Amino acid sequence: MTAPSLHLGDGLTVSPLGFGGMALTTVYGEVDPHESLKTLHHAVDAGVTFIDTADVYGAGGNEELIAKLLKQRRSEVQLASKFGIVGNPRDGYTDVRGDAAYVKQAVEASLRRLGTDVIDLYYMHRRDLRVPIVETVEAMAELVREGKIRHLGLSEVTAEELREADAVHPIAAVQSEWSIWSRDVESNVVPAAAELGVGFVPYSPLGRGFLTGTVSAEQLGDNDFRHRIPRFADGALDANQGVVAAVRSVAAELSGTTGRDATPAQVALAWLFAQGRRLQLPVVPIPGTRKAHRIDENLGALSLELSAAQLGVLDDAADAVVGSRSADPKWVSQGRE
């Protein structure tokens, strides 16, 4: 391991940095399955053993890809998957299901695609507002008793929903978008997670690539689903360059004072680790990438320390972000807080 393991919620031990599998689907453009599998193996080799996927990623294709990794290395991986969303990220979500019958149906399909007997962390991907959250969580708890999953997770829930769910069965982790430019969860959900002893798993911790300073309107292909997100619209994309400039300035300052080349990606991840310490809860970001060398770069954030002044620069930059983080806010908790 590159760093000590972290514990999420009721005893799930994971690597301090995870890997988000959605990047290995066509949501950001075409992918090479062979290279994707090589990237997954490199992640595990490097110590990133917490692998996150979902049934909706690539219409099950992402789980089938990860199954090829698990076939050789299941004992080395902490596996997370999700259920509930109908549709897909690129073309748009059409529905959410959280009824007990669907929970059972979804886990059986995921286990089959993943080629495994048990999922370490199983998330409710989004809340089905037609179904009491207690009903959904009770169905998930039954899967624990049946030995099909080990720990429960929730994605994009409100603080109230988290409390209701945790009263039914211990919740190991909440997953939501959280980064320098997506901080709405800090108002209610993060404090609730800290209070309940629930870990936090930020997805898109690099702002879907934007915080690395490598994304421009010209670089987004026709099939890139980021076109659907308001803060990636032409006017907003230009306005949001300020936050990128702040991240770059901190990276440059660190490079000049530490004797190592700090990158914007490392700064963005180090900011999240610092937030976890400030807000007193375990934080395990799950950046995704198609390139093996980016995994090594991301791991460098674990040893990067940001000063109070540098954290202040990044905090101030977040206040100037323009545009919603979601193509349709009804699909994320910020639309219901």
Would you name the residues annotated as active-site residues?
57
Crossing angle for the helix pair 292-299 and 33-46, to the nearest 10 degrees:
30
The amino acid sitting at 310 is Q
> Measured between alpha carbons, how far is 123 from 333 in angstroms, rounded to an integer?
15
Residues making up the chain, counted from first to last: 337
Q: How far apart are the first and last CA of the chain?
A: 38
- Listed residue (327, 70, 78) closest to 204, CA to CA: 327
Vertex 305: Cα angle to 247 and 79 (nearest 5): 85
Q: Match 């037609």 to its residue by tokens.
A: 130
- Listed residue (232, 228, 231) closest to 327, CA to CA: 228
Bridging pattern class, strands 92-96 and 85-88: antiparallel
> Measured between alpha carbons, how far is 48 from 287 in angstroms, rounded to an integer?
11
- Asked whether 18 and 48 are in contact (CB, 8 A), the reply is yes
- Listed residue (320, 337, 330, 286) closest to 20, CA to CA: 286
